[in-house]
């Protein structure tokens, strides 16, 4: 059962609303000090900030976006905060676990207020990114991905601040709850990964069966373009493609006049779509019924299969195993970090194993079930991730009192039903969990 505090007062912070009566509000300049220390030399770990936190960057393999001169990067020490304040749409913030250097475009800051718990503050900062609260403090060109938070806006940003011991209790509660949710998500993804491996194993068995012919790809599938008649006020749904054969995703619906300078083409169910830039990372997908009518830019080559000779499900699956991936990698040339564009005109001249169509049909039902499982699991994951984000927001802003919550000793074996029960209890208490921006 959710427990609220006994007494509340107005916080004077629009995105927080009411806070417990004994909580304070503080500007960030009284909690943190911005640091600016230029490295001036090489020899340090190079760090980057992603939605997964601060990580050590690989600058020796040539993968990823690389800088010309790391001596101009700034120092960051273990325990300090790093923040991508230049991109308030997709940026993030984290506490560094490493000594190293980080982009001069990022913000490094350290805690100066000994009355604040570092982990509680991190939860608040990360929530302000995920809920787009920092976005209102930005300046720049958001449509170009440049929406930065000026230093003065950061320094004067108001935070709700409970007593330190209460901050620690909140951090411990959220650590337990978030770990529980993350284990559930990991288990669900493992189930899907096992099913995907079964599909890949079936594909390998099929290509090693008798009667397999090696035919040029362009004899069983063709590159196809279905240009859209772009109308300024019509709405189109562009797609993107995940790597490692994880399928495609829908970008936000966009007016024709805002699609940009790229040429766009319609997709149809059964198309096999490749990423022109990241095919070598396994960015290939099968267009499903829910993707029919979406649009792809010219950066995504599309293959239309001759159904009498090759099933789209088979061709897609072939590209996700080593035999097909080798072709995608071979025809993706380049040396500038991850910029290795695919040459589809050369790819379609390659010979591929083409089993009897009757054998390929075994994959059709398998892929259908895999897609159903993926839809179900993704829906479950989305639900608990929404719950996690809302739970964090409500706890760190004082809508729920967790001071007396007893964290169980045993944390293994949680089920989805337990999480579902928590969601039901939240709804019965009269306040459904919603994001603050809603």
| Domain annotation covers residue 360 | no
| Domain annotation covers residue 129 | yes
| Domain annotation covers residue 370 | no
How far from chain centre, in Å, is Cα 13? Answer: 29
pLDDT at 245: 87
pLDDT at 138: 84
Please give the DSSP secondary-structure letter assigned to residue 57: -
Token pair belonging to 433: 């969990």
Q: Are residues 349 and 217 in the same domain?
A: yes
Residue 315's CATH number: 3.90.220.20
Q: What count of residues does the chain have? A: 438
Residues 6+ apart with CB under 8 A from 68: none
Contact 238, 296 (CB under 8 A): yes
Split into its structural domains, the chain has a count of 3
Q: Are residues 346 and 217 in the same domain?
A: yes
pLDDT at 231: 92
Handedness of CA 229, 230, 233, 235 (dihedral sign): positive
Pick from 396, 416, 429, 437: which is nearest to 174 by CA? 396
Q: Are residues 387 and 333 in the same domain?
A: no
Per-residue pLDDT of the chain (438 residues; tens, 9 = 90+): 679 999 999 999 999 999 999 999 999 999 999 999 988 777 788 898 888 899 998 766 555 555 666 778 999 999 999 999 888 877 899 999 999 999 988 999 999 988 899 999 999 999 999 998 998 888 876 555 567 889 999 999 999 999 999 999 999 999 999 999 999 999 999 999 999 999 999 999 999 988 899 999 999 999 999 999 999 999 999 999 998 888 899 998 999 998 888 899 999 999 999 999 999 999 999 999 999 999 999 999 999 999 999 999 999 999 999 999 999 999 998 765 457 899 999 999 999 999 999 999 889 999 999 989 998 999 999 999 999 999 999 999 999 999 999 888 755 555 556 665 665 555 455 444 333 332
Q: Helix crossing, 312-320 with 322-330: angle to 10°?
A: 80
- Give the domain extent around 183: 1-23+162-187+375-438
Contact 428, 4 (CB under 8 A): no
Token pair belonging to 95: 């506490």
Beta bridge partners of 27: 158
Domain limit, last residue, from 324, 354, 384: 354
Q: Are residues 288 and 261 in the same domain?
A: yes
| Domain annotation covers residue 361 | no
Q: Are residues 171 and 142 in the same domain?
A: no
Residue owning tokens 């913030």: 93
| Domain annotation covers residue 194 | no
pLDDT at 284: 95
Q: Are residues 291 and 301 in the same domain?
A: yes
Full-prediction pTM beyond 0.85? Answer: no
| Domain annotation covers residue 199 | no
Q: Are residues 54 and 16 in the same domain?
A: no
Identify the helix (H) or strand (E) that includes residue 392. Answer: helix 357-396
Q: Are residues 43 and 125 in the same domain?
A: yes
Domain limit, last residue, from 161, 179, 201: 161
Residues 6+ apart with CB under 8 A from 219: 306, 309
**Distance (Å, rounded) from C-alpha 188 to C-alpha 340?**
32
Residue owning tokens 């949680």: 414
Contact 331, 347 (CB under 8 A): yes
**Distance (Å, rounded) from C-alpha 167 to C-alpha 330?**
53
Contacts made by residues 138-141, CB under 8 angstroms, sequence distance 24+? 138/88
Contact 352, 238 (CB under 8 A): no
Q: Are residues 269 and 139 in the same domain?
A: no
Alpha-carbon distance values, 35 to 47, 54, 166, 279, 285 (Å) = 16, 17, 28, 40, 44
Pick from 244, 254, 237: which is nearest to 279 by CA? 244
| Domain annotation covers residue 205 | no
How far from chain centre, in Å, is Cα 90? Answer: 9
Tens of pLDDT, residues 188-205: 999 999 999 999 999 999
Alpha helices, H only, 82-140: 118-130
Q: Are residues 270 and 326 in the same domain?
A: yes
**Distance (Å, rounded) from C-alpha 368 to C-alpha 374?**
10
Q: Are residues 18 and 52 in the same domain?
A: no
Q: How many CB atoms lie within 10 A of CB 260?
A: 11
Contact 8, 23 (CB under 8 A): no
pLDDT at 419: 60
| Domain annotation covers residue 193 | no
Q: Are residues 146 and 156 in the same domain?
A: yes
**Distance (Å, rounded) from C-alpha 329 to C-alpha 274?**
12
Domain limit, last residue, from 305, 325, 354: 354
């Amino acid at each position: 059962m959710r427990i609220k505090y006994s007494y509340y007062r107005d916080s004077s912070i629009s995105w927080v609303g009411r806070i417990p009566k004994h909580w304070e509000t503080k500007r960030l300049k009284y909690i943190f000090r911005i640091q600016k220390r230029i490295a001036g030399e090489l020899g340090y770990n190079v760090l980057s900030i992603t939605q997964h936190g601060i990580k050590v960057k690989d600058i020796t393999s040539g993968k990823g976006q690389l800088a010309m001169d790391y001596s101009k990067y700034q120092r960051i020490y273990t325990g300090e905060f790093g923040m991508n304040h230049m991109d308030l749409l997709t940026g993030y913030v984290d506490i560094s676990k490493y000594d190293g250097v980080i982009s001069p475009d990022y913000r490094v800051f350290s805690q100066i207020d000994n009355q604040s718990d570092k982990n509680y503050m991190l939860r608040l900062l990360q929530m302000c990114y995920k809920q787009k609260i920092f976005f209102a403090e930005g300046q720049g060109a958001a449509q170009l991905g440049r929406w930065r938070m000026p230093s003065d806006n950061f320094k004067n940003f108001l935070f709700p601040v409970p007593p330190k011991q209460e901050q620690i209790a909140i951090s411990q509660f959220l650590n337990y709850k978030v770990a529980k949710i993350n284990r559930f998500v990991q288990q669900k993804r493992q189930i899907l990964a096992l099913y995907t491996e079964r599909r890949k194993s079936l594909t390998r068995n099929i290509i090693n069966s008798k009667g397999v012919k090696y035919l040029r790809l362009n004899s069983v599938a063709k590159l196809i373009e279905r240009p859209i008649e772009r109308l300024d006020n019509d709405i189109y749904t562009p797609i993107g493609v995940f790597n490692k054969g994880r399928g495609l995703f829908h970008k936000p619906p966009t007016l024709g006049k805002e699609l940009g300078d790229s040429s766009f083409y319609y997709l149809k169910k059964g198309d096999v779509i490749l990423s022109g830039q990241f095919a070598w990372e396994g960015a290939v997908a099968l267009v499903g019924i829910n993707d029919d009518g979406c649009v792809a830019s010219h950066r995504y080559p599309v293959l239309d299969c001759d159904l009498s000779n090759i099933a789209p499900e088979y061709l897609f699956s072939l590209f996700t195993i080593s035999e097909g991936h080798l072709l995608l990698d071979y025809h993706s040339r380049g040396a500038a970090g991850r910029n290795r564009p695919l040459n589809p005109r050369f790819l379609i001249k390659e010979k591929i194993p083409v089993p009897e169509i009757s054998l390929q049909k075994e994959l059709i039902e398998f892929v259908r079930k895999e897609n159903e499982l993926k839809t179900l699991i993704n829906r479950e994951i989305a639900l608990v991730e929404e719950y996690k984000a809302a739970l964090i927001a409500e706890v760190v802003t004082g809508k729920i009192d967790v001071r007396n919550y007893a964290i169980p000793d045993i944390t293994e074996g949680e089920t989805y039903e337990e999480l579902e029960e928590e969601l039901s209890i939240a709804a019965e208490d009269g306040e459904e969990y919603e994001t603050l921006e809603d």
